[in-house]
Amino acid sequence: MTDVFSLKGRKALVTGSNTGLGQSIAVALAAAGAEVVCAARRSPEETLKIIASQGSKASSLDLDFSNPMAARDVFSGQGFDILVNNAGIIRRADAVDFTESDWDEVMDVNLKALFFTTQAFAKELMARGQDGKVVNIASLLSFQGGIRVPSYTAAKHGVAGLTKLLANEWAAKGINVNAIAPGYIETNNTEALRVDPARNKAILERIPANRWGQPEDIAGAAVFLSSSAANYIHGAVLNVDGGWLAR
């Protein structure tokens, strides 16, 4: 029986793959057989070393999504059929103190760049008449409000909405668009929460799994949604949150 989770012969672009979730996703896709291009604004050298150590193939690409159109010309003729939109930033401040620059920077990277990167990817697939997979990284804050992260919350709500809209438009064209909503994962973005004793305690008490997630906890979901096992899944936002939203 053919392994429906195999990504052999596929080529994936993973954005923000120098650390954290993006790194784990890139490593997992490569382990599943994909040729992975690690895109980031800082060198993904560590990610490339991990992938090489497991005998898999990867390369790097400099992309800075503070320019939302940074990936406009990346896909033409390059043979990509998987896109993981993981790149993202966060800014924290009370809503009454939040600045326009912090709003715009987060929205540009987390939502505007995601849309135009996915648009460029889909245009190339359609021009070639080829199927493909898009995996967006959403958030628990695609469903909840959170506190002190207004632009991040707005952007992640937008990611969930765009995932559904693009699935509606592209499912019949053979392009699967889905998202993963990670829970509280140990990454750079959550360091401020983890070092705050009160916030850390409150978060752990809410998580049925009774632990913070690890980047590797997200990787398997990304492989699944990138594989033929997910061929009939369109517009889904898969919660990988230790049971947070079930509570």
Residue 93: which residues within 8 A CB-CB, separation 6 or more?
99, 102, 148
What are residue 36's phi and psi, to 5 degrees? Answer: -115, 135
Token pair in block for residue 146: 């959170």
152 tagged catalytic: yes
CB 176 within 8 A of CB 166: no
CB 156 within 8 A of CB 86: no
Give which of 88, 127, 83 is closest to 111, Cα–Cα.
Answer: 88
Please tell me the distance from the alpha carbon of residue 68 to that of residue 112, in angstroms, as a whole number. 6
Q: Which residue has the tokens 């207004």?
A: 150
DSSP track, 32-57: TT-EEEEEESS--HHHHHHHHHTT--
Catalytic residue among 152, 184, 212, 224: 152
- Laid out side by side, the sheet with 82-85 consists of 58-62, 35-40, 11-15, 82-85, 132-137, 175-182, 237-240
Catalytic residues: 152
